[in-house]
Amino acid sequence: MSEQKNIRDLKSLRIDHDSPVPLHLQVEEILRDMINDPEYQNGKFLPKEVDLSKRLGISRNTVRQATNRLVQEKLLIRKKGVGTKVAKKQVETRLSNWVSFSQEMHAQGIDFRNYEIKVSQIKADAEVAEQLEIKEGHDLFKLERLRGLDNGPFVYFISYFHPRIGITGNEDFERYLYDILEDEYHTIPVLSREQISAILANKFLSEKLGVPVNSAILQRKRVVYDPGNRPIEYNIGYYRADQFTYSIDIKR
């Protein structure tokens, strides 16, 4: 180690010894800022404990008091004899916060592409009618999208929109779907009721997703609800199981 060029960070650090806020809490704040600093997120080691304590004019113990908590929160990783750095950010589909596919991908720094987009007006069949809580045969819009990365599509989405929303079919479906709903239709999704299962690829899916017939496919059906518990969208996604895993954190 020893290399510690850009002291810029360190020089600007200040601790208020007269503040009623305990020193270790002030240090914690400083460390949290560092954790948010892209530089440290890129794997650079934090200033070592001795340096930090010297620079801040406090004891090493106090620095450790702060780092201990952050380590326990798994924001930092310490390694004896090596140093301390920011823990790799866990992929954030999680924290029970759900977003659209595009946002999920975007959050992970992954560039997705739309391989096909198709909008059509159809009549609700029994399944769709049940999920959207409308009568069978009701007119509504169906959106089909084949999406994936540069190396090819890996998910086929089908969305059915509740007629109440007033989709016209002329929306720019390259945008984030839920942004469109919020911005243009003042429809805020607050609940997603999901059902996930495994199926085998039929001919249609195998062609769309570029996998052999009878490959493993993760099927995700979900109904998205607004704050009044009214269904907004019924969405079915077929994912190539070799390229996609559904991740979620469940707290109690």
Which of 50, 122 has the CB closer to DNA? 50
- Asked if 1 interacts with DNA (CB under 7 A), we say yes
Max Cα distance, the chain (Å): 74
By a kind-dependent CB cut-off of 5 to 8 A, residue 69 interacts, out of its own copies, DNA, none, with its own copies
59 binds DNA (CB under 7 A): yes
* Distant-in-sequence contacts of 245-252, Cβ < 8 A, 24+ apart: 245/218, 246/196, 246/218, 246/220, 247/91, 247/93, 247/94, 248/93, 248/94, 248/96, 249/94, 249/95, 249/96, 250/96, 251/96
Of 50-58, 89-97, 169-177, 202-210, the segment contacting DNA by CB under 7 A is 50-58
Interaction of residue 164 with DNA, rule CB under 7 A: no
In angstroms, the CA 43 to CA 40 distance is 5
Collapse the DSSP code of 29 into the 3-class scheme (helix H, G, I; strand E, B; otherwise coil) and give the result. Answer: helix
β-strand partners of 219: 197, 238
For the record, the structure tokens of 158 come out as 């089908």
**For DNA, which is the closer residue by CB, 3 or 111?**
3
Tell me which of its own copies, DNA, none is bound by residue 20, counting a contact when its beta carbon lies within the kind-specific cut-off of 5 to 8 angstroms. Answer: DNA
Whole-number Å distance between alpha carbons of 182 and 179: 5
3-state secondary structure of 166: coil
Which of 43, 126, 170, 198 is the binder for its own copies (CB under 8 A)? Answer: 198
- Residue 117 binds which of its own copies, DNA, none (CB < 5-8 A, kind-dependent): none
Structure tokens at 80: 């004896």
Taking CB under 7 A as the rule, which mask of x and - marks residues 70-99 in contact with DNA?
--------xxxxxxx---------------
Contact call for residue 204 and its own copies (CB under 8 A): no
* Residue 20 touching DNA (CB under 7 A): yes
Q: 243 is in the binding site of which of DNA, its own copies, none (Cβ under 5 to 8 A by kind)?
A: none
Interatomic CA distance for residues 182 and 119, integer angstroms: 20
Question: What does the binding site for DNA look like in residue numbers (CB under 7 A)?
Answer: 1-2, 20, 22-25, 45-46, 48-50, 57-62, 64-65, 67, 78-84
Question: What does the binding site for its own copies look like in residue numbers (CB under 8 A)?
Answer: 68-69, 72-74, 93-94, 96-98, 189-200, 214-219, 228-229, 239, 241, 244-252
